[in-house]
Amino acid sequence: MAKYFGVIIDEKRMAAIKGTPLEDKVQSIFGGALRRLVIEVSDELGQKVIDQFTKARFDARGYIEETPAAFKRAVFKRIAEMKDLSEAVIKKVLEEDLDKVKEEAAKEDKELPVPDIDISDVLELQKNPVQKPA
């Protein structure tokens, strides 16, 4: 059974593939709330990716998930460079970018920048919880 690797396409990434054949391959998910590109890979190659990262795994949809953000960045960079969505992209990353990805992933495992968003509304809601300690 084939496996899949999805890369989320934000505005910046969309701009990087604008005007290329990749633009037409962008899929809309969750009713257009997110966009992604998908690479189909063999079971064997999928497993090879999983084996590189301790948290990585296949999810119930057959997607390779929980790979480091550094790996996803590297895959997108190669997609944009090679203008390709075949498994050759993943092979290239594993062959040429893996050391750097692993180095960045080790940092990523320790710290991720906290999003700069206002959470005061939920702190207010939590001031008077319905459930009280015993």
Partner 1 sequence: MPEVRIKTLPPPHGGKLVERVVRDPQMARKLMEKCSAVYDIKPTLFKGNPVRNVYREIMSVCYGFFSPVEGSMTKADLESVLERRRLTSGWVFPYPILFDISEEDYKKLGVGAGDWLLIRLKGEPFAILEIEEVYEIVPGDVAVRTFGTPEKNPEVVKVPFDQKHTGYNIYCSLNPIVLAGKYTIINEPKFRPPFDRFWYPPKRAREEFEKRGWTTVIAHQTRNVPHTGHEALMKNAAYIGDVKPCDGIVVNAIVGAKRIGDFPDEAIVEGHEMVHLAGYIKPERHLVTFTLWDMRYGNPIESLIHAVIRQNMGISFHMFGRDHAALGEYYDIFATQILWSKGIPSFGFEEPPYMVDGGFYIRPQNIEEFWFCPKCKEFAYSANCSHKGIYSRYSGSFIRGLINEGVMPPPEIYRPEVYKVVVKWWQKFGYPFNNEKYLKEREERLEVDLPHMELPAHLKK
Tokens representing 114?
Answer: 């906290």
Q: Which of 2, 14, 15, 34 binds partner 1 (CB under 8 A)?
A: 34
d(C-alpha 41, C-alpha 67), whole Å = 15
The yes or no reply on residue 57 touching partner 1 (CB under 8 A) is: yes
Q: Which of 32, 44, 95, 99 binds partner 1 (CB under 8 A)?
A: 32
Cβ 67 vs Cβ 37: under 8 Å:
no
Q: Which of 18, 19, 24, 125 binds partner 1 (CB under 8 A)?
A: 125
Question: What 3 state SS string does 69-123 have?
Answer: HHHHHHHHHHHHHHCCCCCHHHHHHHHHHHHHHHHHHHHHCCCCCCCCCCCHHHH
Cβ 71 vs Cβ 79: under 8 Å:
no
The yes or no reply on residue 12 touching partner 1 (CB under 8 A) is: no
The yes or no reply on residue 131 touching partner 1 (CB under 8 A) is: yes
The yes or no reply on residue 104 touching partner 1 (CB under 8 A) is: no
The yes or no reply on residue 103 touching partner 1 (CB under 8 A) is: no
The yes or no reply on residue 6 touching partner 1 (CB under 8 A) is: yes
Q: Which of 18, 61, 95, 99 binds partner 1 (CB under 8 A)?
A: 61
